[in-house]
Amino acid sequence: MPYSAKAVANEFLHLAKDEGRSITPMQLLKLIYFVYGWYWAFANERLLDERVQAWKYGPVVPSIYHEFKSFGNEPINSFATEFKPVHNGGKFGFRIEEPRVPECEAFPRKLITRVWEVYKNYSAIELSRMTHEPGTPWANTPNREVKGTTIDDDSIRNYFVELARQNDASRQPAA
């Protein structure tokens, strides 16, 4: 089941808070991109309910960009929120909610935690460089300078499957 990007973002933000660390919007965007790719590689399905786009400066999940753009290059000091409709006694309204990946969803939560453990010590610039390397899905996306261009999901999945194979092969004993 795909999750809202805001729920996944909040998982990273809570992990950072629990460790007394900070995350900038660019770091968060890259972490979400990495977990999206690794989830494709291991689960063979989309983690998010929206697609990753190829913007001029790298892969972006638009809802996360817009949620946190006011922080600029500074650490994020709040969680993502969503408006949820409420029906109460014939009246309609909305409540503000902080979405999370449900506790019962073990694999997505473990993968988010693992991505955090692997990538948390990289700066925003270092994470961005990783997404811009030749051969990455972003680098291979045609028309990436056109805002709204999505990165092909098969390209993301294949790239991360290959990374997983390379990582697995590097751990094998030499013959």
The domain spans of the chain are 5-166
- Distance, in Å, from the CA atom of 101 to the CA atom of 47, rounded to the nearest integer, reads 11
Confidence of residue 108 (pLDDT cuts 50, 70, 90): very high
- Whether 165 and 157 have beta carbons less than 8 Å apart is answered as no
> Could you tell me the pTM of the whole model?
0.90
The pLDDT of residue 153 is: 96
User: Are 31 and 24 contacting, i.e. CB atoms less than 8 angstroms apart?
Assistant: no
Q: With cut-offs at 50, 70 and 90, classify the pLDDT of residue 173.
A: low
35/114 Cα distance (integer angstroms): 9
Of 148 and 77, more confident: 77
Give per-residue pLDDT as tens, 33-84. Answer: 999 999 999 999 999 999 999 998 899 999 999 999 999 999 999 999 998 8
- Please determine, for residue 89, whether its predicted confidence score (pLDDT) is greater than 70: yes
Which H helix or E strand runs over 163? helix 153-171
